[in-house]
Homo-oligomer: A and B are copies of this chain.
């Protein structure tokens, strides 16, 4: 069970290793939304996304013996890089299982961060079987991307910072909008806010067509997405909320919000021009909800988490071409 005590302990382990990312704002964004908008720029975290927090938390929580044998993760994206760098800095071997058709740059980055990358063919090979074999041969510990208490605890440190930074800026009452895949970040932030800043209300945000969390919150039971591709917001596409994360989301979160891919790309362009940060489409859905769905939000202020910035140059150029200036 993930609890506020685990988040506090993770905070101590992350101190001096994870960045305290800034809470940014712009009068131009406030004007678009018609409310005050603050953006937690987690794209500025090490490896370009909040996933470094969870990776560090999980690796640092292992016993020295277990850690020395190494860790393993399945990921084609941000979790891979977060775990790889956290392991490297702990001098821990890391194996990352990636699909052979993952973008070359993500594979190269993960290798450059010191991990051993094992590629598998999505069509013909069983990822879990490959991972289980390597893990058992070498005694590696699996670090799951979201349904894992120490990962949730690490992501929750983002919420402790939001509570502190909101107070510094005089905000005690606001909706906190969080880009949501499997719910690791959202549940971690929700736990932290419930403890430290009960006037800040967590709300998950998802891309249109991949709104499993929103539908699950509405129905009260875990709902699945019909498909797993076809959105620009690839970083946050997951089949369904986690077994550990969903009960936390259900207990602590307000209703989910859903944005279109074009709204996400428009938010990418506005984060470029108004905040000077690079956000990937999946990391921009919360900002998109703040800017374009403010009528679905209660308070006078909104805090949107910009969760990651690992976007290909081509996609970013497209966002600027269509929605820049």
Query: Which residues does A use to contact B, with CB under 8 Å?
Result: 19, 21-22, 24, 27-28, 31, 41, 43-44, 48, 85, 105, 109, 112-113, 269, 272-273, 275-279, 309, 312-314, 316-317, 320-321, 324-325
Contact = CB atoms under 8 A, between A and B. Distances in A.
Contacts of A19: 22, 24
A209 B21 CA distance: 37
A312 B112 CA distance: 32
Nearest to A310: B276
Q: Which 8 interchain pairs have the tightest Cβ spacing?
A: A313-B324, A276-B309, A276-B278, A313-B320, A43-B276, A317-B317, A313-B325, A48-B276
Contacts of A27: 85, 112-113
A72 to B, nearest CB: 21
Contacts of A273: 313
A11 to B, nearest CB: 17
Contact of A105 (B105, B276, B314, B325): B325
Contacts of A272: 278, 313, 316
Contacts of A28: 109, 112
Contacts of A316: 272, 320, 324
Contacts of A269: 313
Contacts of A276: 43-44, 48, 277-279, 309
Dominant SS at the A interface? helix
Contacts of A317: 317, 320-321, 324
Contact of A22 (B44, B85, B324): B44
A320 to B, nearest CB: 4
A48 B24 CA distance: 11
26 contacts: A19-B22, A22-B22, A24-B44, A27-B85, A27-B112, A27-B113, A28-B109, A28-B112, A31-B112, A44-B275, A44-B277, A48-B276, A105-B325, A272-B278, A273-B313, A276-B277, A276-B278, A276-B279, A276-B309, A278-B278, A313-B320, A313-B321, A313-B324, A313-B325, A314-B324, A317-B324
Contacts of A312: 325
A19 B314 CA distance: 31
Q: Which of A112, A276, A320 has the most CB atoms of chain B within a 10 A radius of its CB?
A: A276
A21 B48 CA distance: 17
A31 B22 CA distance: 26
Contact of A277 (B105, B277, B313, B320): B277
A31 B21 CA distance: 24
A161 to B, nearest CB: 13
A309 B26 CA distance: 14
Contacts of A279: 276
Contacts of A85: 27
Contact of A21 (B22, B309, B324): B22
- Most chain-B CB neighbours within 10 Å: which of A85, A278, A314? A278
Contacts of A320: 313, 316-317
